[in-house]
Amino acid sequence: MKVFHVVSVTFLAGLIVTSATEKAWAHPPESRGVVAAAVQVGNAQEQGPADPVSEADRQVAYFQFESLSWLATRCPSPLQRETIQQALAELQTATQLPQAPSLKTLVAERISLQAKLREQHRVVSLEWSKSGLESAMDVPAIEVARGLSRVVIVEVLNTDSEAANLTLAIGGQNQNAVPWTVLPGKLLWFPLMLTADLPVVKVTVTAETNAGAVTHDFSLPIQIAEPAKLRGRLFDGDLGKVTPGRVWVKGSDHQYRHAGPFAANKSFLEKPVLLSTVPRSYGLPFFYADGTFEIDVPPGPTIVTLERGFEHSLASESIDLAAGETRELTLSSRRFVDMKSQGWISGDTHIHWVTNAWNVDLPLEHLSLVQKAEDLRVVNNLTLLHRTTVDAFVKPSQAPMGPIRNFCSDDYHIEMAEEYRNQNLYGHLCFLNLKWLVLPIGTGPQIAGDDSLDYPINKTAILQAREQGGISIEAHGVGANHELPLNAVHGLTDSLDQIEPDDYYRLLDCGFQLPLTNGSDHPARVAGCARAYVKIEGDFAYEKWIDGIRRGRTFTTSGPLMTLTVNNRDIGDVLTTTANEPLQIQVTAKSRFPLGRVQILSNGAVLKEIETQEKEADLTVTIPAGESRWIVARCSRNSQWNAIWHADIAHTSAVYVHVNGRSVFRDEAAHEWIDRMRLHIRDIQTKGLFGNANQRNEALAYAGESIRRYERLMAIRSQPPQQGMATIDEQRDLLLMQASFVSPLSHEDPFVNAIRQSVHTGNLRNAAEPLTILKVQINPESRVKLAPVTLPESLVQHRTQRFLIEIHNEARIQAPLRIRALDQSAGDIQPADWCDVRLMDNLVSSSVLSGEETEWKLLELRSDLAGRREVRFEADVGQGTQDLGFRASADVLLKVNPSGISNGDRKN
pTM: 0.92
Environment class of 535 (CB within 10 Å of its CB; exposed 0-12, middle 13-18, buried 19+): buried
Asked whether the predicted pLDDT for residue 6 surpasses 90, the reply is no
Q: What is the pLDDT of residues 510-529, one digit of tens each?
A: 999 999 999 999 999 999 99
Using alpha carbons only, give the angle 180, 184, 188 rounded to the nearest 5 degrees.
40
What's the DSSP call for residue 437?
P
**pLDDT confidence of 199, banded at 50, 70, 90?**
low
Q: Is beta strand 3-12 parallel, antiparallel or unpaired with respect to 168-170?
A: antiparallel
Amino acid at residue number 57: D
Quick one: which of 451, 630, 410 has its CA closest to 539?
Answer: 410
Q: Which residues contact 605 (CB under 8 A, 6 or more apart)?
A: none
Q: Which residues contact 428 (CB under 8 A, 6 or more apart)?
A: 32, 419, 420, 421, 422, 474, 475, 476, 480, 481
**pLDDT confidence of 170, banded at 50, 70, 90?**
confident
Please state, in angstroms and rounded to a whole number, the distance separating the CA atoms of residues 291 and 905. 27
Q: What is the pLDDT of residues 231-249, one digit of tens each?
A: 999 999 999 999 999 999 9
Q: What is the pLDDT of residues 52-102, one digit of tens each?
A: 799 999 999 999 999 999 999 999 999 999 999 999 999 999 999 999 999
Q: What is the pLDDT of residues 770-808, one digit of tens each?
A: 999 999 999 999 899 999 999 999 999 999 999 999 999
> What pLDDT shows up at residue 389?
80
Domain ranges of the chain: 3-225, 228-333, 337-557, 560-664, 728-897
Mean pLDDT of 424-452: 97
Q: Are 804 and 739 in contact, with CB atoms under 8 Å apart?
A: yes
> What pLDDT shows up at residue 35?
29
Using alpha carbons only, give the angle 176, 646, 524 rounded to the nearest 5 degrees.
55
Q: What is the pLDDT of residues 840-898, one digit of tens each?
A: 999 999 999 999 999 999 999 999 999 999 999 999 987 544 556 678 999 999 999 99
Q: Is beta strand 402-403 parallel, antiparallel or unpaired with respect to 413-422?
A: antiparallel
Region of poorest pLDDT, from 102-106, 154-158, 470-474: 154-158
Cβ neighbours, 10 Å, residue 97: 13
The answer, yes or no, to whether the previous bond of 101 is cis (omega within 30 of 0) is: no
Q: Is domain 337-557 in CATH 3.20.20.140, yes or no?
A: yes
Which stretches of 8-150 are DSSP H helices? 55-74, 80-94, 103-120
Asked whether the predicted pLDDT for residue 46 surpasses 50, the reply is no
Mean pLDDT of 103-111: 97
Instruction: Classify the C-alpha dihedral 39-40-46-49 as positive or negative.
Output: positive
Which stretches of 308-430 are DSSP H helices? 364-373
Q: Are 302 and 94 in contact, with CB atoms under 8 Å apart?
A: no
Please state, in angstroms and rounded to a whole number, the distance separating the CA atoms of residues 63 and 90. 8
Separate counts of helices (H) and strands (E) for the chain? 13, 55
657 forms bridges with which residues in the sheet?
575, 629
**pLDDT confidence of 829, banded at 50, 70, 90?**
confident
Using alpha carbons only, give the angle 470, 476, 477 rounded to the nearest 5 degrees.
100
Architecture per CATH, 228-333: Sandwich (2.60)
Quick one: which of 496, 523, 530 has its CA closest to 374?
Answer: 530
Q: Looking at the domain 560-664, which fold is it?
A: Immunoglobulin-like (2.60.40)
Reported as type and span, the H/E element at residue 803 is strand 801-809
> What pLDDT shows up at residue 871?
95
Asked whether the predicted pLDDT for residue 47 surpasses 70, the reply is no
Mean pLDDT of 762-771: 96
Mean pLDDT of 481-506: 97
Mean pLDDT of 168-188: 85
Cβ neighbours, 10 Å, residue 223: 14
Please state, in angstroms and rounded to a whole number, the distance separating the CA atoms of residues 195 and 149. 4
Please state, in angstroms and rounded to a whole number, the distance separating the CA atoms of residues 130 and 698. 68
Q: What is the pLDDT of residues 353-392, one digit of tens each?
A: 999 999 999 999 999 999 999 999 999 999 999 998 888 9
> What pLDDT shows up at residue 480?
82
Q: How many CA atoms lie within 13 A of 370 on its CB side?
A: 25
Please state, in angstroms and rounded to a whole number, the distance separating the CA atoms of residues 656 and 577. 11
Q: What is the pLDDT of residues 557-611, one digit of tens each?
A: 999 999 999 999 999 999 999 999 999 999 999 999 999 999 999 999 999 999 9
What's the DSSP call for residue 631?
E
Cβ neighbours, 10 Å, residue 147: 12
Quick one: which of 448, 479, 483 has its CA closest to 684?
Answer: 483
Mean pLDDT of 403-416: 97
Asked whether the predicted pLDDT for residue 711 surpasses 60, the reply is yes
What's the DSSP call for residue 32?
G
Rounded to the nearest 10°, the torsion over CA 656, 657, 662, 665 is -60
Domains 337-557 and 728-897 share a fold: no
**pLDDT confidence of 172, banded at 50, 70, 90?**
confident
Asked whether the predicted pLDDT for residue 43 surpasses 50, the reply is no
Please state, in angstroms and rounded to a whole number, the distance separating the CA atoms of residues 483 and 473. 12
Mean pLDDT of 494-514: 98
Q: Are 349 and 518 in contact, with CB atoms under 8 Å apart?
A: yes
Task: Please give the residue that has the higher pLDDT: either 174 or 572.
Answer: 572
Please, what is the average pLDDT of the chain? Answer: 90
Please state, in angstroms and rounded to a whole number, the distance separating the CA atoms of residues 574 and 552. 10
Q: Looking at the domain 728-897, which fold is it?
A: Immunoglobulin-like (2.60.40)
